[in-house]
């Protein structure tokens, strides 16, 4: 909680801090917070803040395969001793620097995304963005981005859903790491079929020419935010467009699925 005015007097500061802790304690007694994914009660941390997910759900949203492609985060079945790029990245080098995700697309993450995207639960953005931040803050900071851009929705889908889930995640990540977010940097020029309904070969075709740059900017180091990465088609199409406009792109997402 931030006070709406600067407080400099140490005694007043201490009193307000104590009242805040007492208020939080009282609110936990009256309305105990619950995990938004499984409804288990959430524990207060020693500093008075509460976890956004229970430990079980958090672990499910932040687990990774034993090894993965350093370029596109493709999960490998077996642990590999030396880091090596996947066959797709070697065959067709991607137009992005890297993709990093909070974790593999588990059952819990699938349920969370279902609620977040299709059942009108935008409040799930906060715990899901926290999973991204827990796992990727240092990678994002090390990349030294100028700007965060979300994968856009077509206006019809936006009207239907009421929000762009990638923009909600982008805003929370941008706020936490103090990076500007440009919501309308790109637009989706035509409605496209949901990628999840298509096989790998149709996914790239489905998105061909579906995006347009909406803001001409000098070359930037961009973080593109997507929700789930599966074949990397969306990341590739958007990154290609951004890189044609002089930008360097890295991609972050909540989950990494695989068709294999
Ligand atoms: Zn839970
Ligand atoms: Zn790869």
Express each pLDDT in 177-225 by its tens digit.
999 999 999 999 988 877 777 777 787 778 888 899 998 899 999 999 9
DSSP designation for 132: H
Ligand nearest to the CA of 131: 1
Q: How confident is the model at residue 172 (pLDDT cuts 50, 70, 90)?
A: very high
How far is 116 from 122, CA to CA, in rounded Å? 6
How many A from CA of 240 to the centre of ligand 2?
Answer: 16
Q: Which among 172, 260, 186 is positioned nearest to 220, based on CA atoms?
A: 186
- Alpha carbon distances (Å) from 47 to 18, 20, 22, 50, 242: 11, 11, 12, 9, 42
How many A from CA of 56 to the centre of ligand 1?
Answer: 6
Task: Give the model confidence (pLDDT) of 31-41 as tens digits.
Answer: 778 899 998 98
Average pLDDT for 122-132: 95
How far is 53 from 37, CA to CA, in rounded Å? 7
pTM of the model: 0.85
Instruction: Count Cβ neighbours within 10 Å for each residue of 91-119 and write b for 16 or more, e otherwise.
Output: eeebbbbbbbbbbbbbebbeebbebbbee
How many A from CA of 104 to the centre of ligand 1?
Answer: 17
Q: How confident is the model at residue 4 (pLDDT cuts 50, 70, 90)?
A: low
Instruction: Point out which residues pair with 253 in neighbouring strands.
Output: 101, 226
- Alpha carbon distances (Å) from 39 to 51, 106, 255: 13, 18, 22
Q: What is the domain class of 55-256 according to CATH?
A: alpha beta
Mean pLDDT over each residue of the chain, to the nearest integer: 89
How many A from CA of 208 to the centre of ligand 2?
Answer: 20
Q: Hey, what are 242's tokens?
A: 């951004």
Give the other-Cβ count within 10 Å of 185's Cβ: 23
How many A from CA of 59 to the centre of ligand 1?
Answer: 9
Ligand nearest to the CA of 84: 2
How far is 202 from 197, CA to CA, in rounded Å? 10
Which helix (H) or strand (E) segment holds residue 111: the answer is helix 107-113
Q: How confident is the model at residue 114 (pLDDT cuts 50, 70, 90)?
A: very high
| Residue bearing tokens 């997507």 | 226
How far is 59 from 38, CA to CA, in rounded Å? 13
Helices (H) and strands (E) in the chain, counts: 9, 9
- Most confident of the following: 60-64, 190-194, 246-250: 246-250
Average pLDDT for 159-172: 97
Q: Hey, what are 80's tokens?
A: 């590999």
Give the count of alpha carbons within 13 A of 46, CB side only.
Answer: 0
Ligand nearest to the CA of 57: 1
Q: Hey, what are 112's tokens?
A: 């969370």
3-state DSSP assignment of residue 138? helix
Domain boundaries, the chain: 55-256
How many A from CA of 52 to the centre of ligand 1?
Answer: 9
Ligand nearest to the CA of 36: 1
DSSP designation for 197: G
Cβ(136)–Cβ(252) under 8 Å?
yes
The predicted structure's pLDDT at residue 22: 74
> Could you give phi then psi for residue 249, rounded to 5 degrees?
-125, 135
How far is 155 from 217, CA to CA, in rounded Å? 23
How many A from CA of 42 to the centre of ligand 1?
Answer: 8
How many A from CA of 59 to the centre of ligand 2?
Answer: 24
End-to-end CA, the chain: 45
């Amino acid at each position: 909680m931030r006070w709406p005015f600067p407080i400099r007097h140490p005694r007043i500061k201490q009193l307000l801090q104590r009242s805040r802790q007492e208020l939080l304690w009282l609110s936990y007694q009256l309305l105990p917070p619950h995990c938004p994914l499984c409804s288990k009660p959430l524990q207060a941390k020693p500093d008075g803040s509460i976890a956004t997910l229970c430990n079980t759900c958090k672990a499910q949203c932040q687990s990774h395969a034993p090894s993965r492609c350093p370029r596109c985060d493709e999960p490998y079945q077996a642990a590999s001793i030396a880091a090596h790029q996947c066959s797709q990245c070697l065959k067709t080098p991607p137009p992005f620097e890297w993709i990093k995700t909070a974790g593999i697309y588990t059952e819990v993450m699938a349920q969370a995304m279902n609620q977040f995207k299709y059942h009108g639960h935008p409040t799930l953005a906060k715990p899901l963005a926290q999973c991204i931040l827990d796992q990727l803050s240092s990678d994002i900071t090390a990349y030294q981005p100028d700007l965060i851009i979300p994968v856009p929705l077509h206006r019809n889908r936006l009207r239907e859903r009421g929000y762009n889930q990638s923009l909600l995640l982008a805003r929370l990540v941008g706020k936490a790491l103090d990076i500007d977010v440009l919501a309308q940097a790109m637009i989706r020029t035509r409605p496209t079929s949901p990628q999840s309904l298509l096989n790998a070969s149709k996914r790239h075709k489905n998105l061909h020419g579906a995006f347009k740059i909406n803001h001409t900017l000098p070359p930037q180091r961009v973080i593109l935010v997507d929700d789930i990465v599966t074949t990397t088609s969306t990341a590739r199409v958007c990154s290609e467009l951004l890189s044609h406009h002089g930008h360097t792109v890295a991609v972050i997402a909540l989950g990494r699925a695989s068709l294999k």
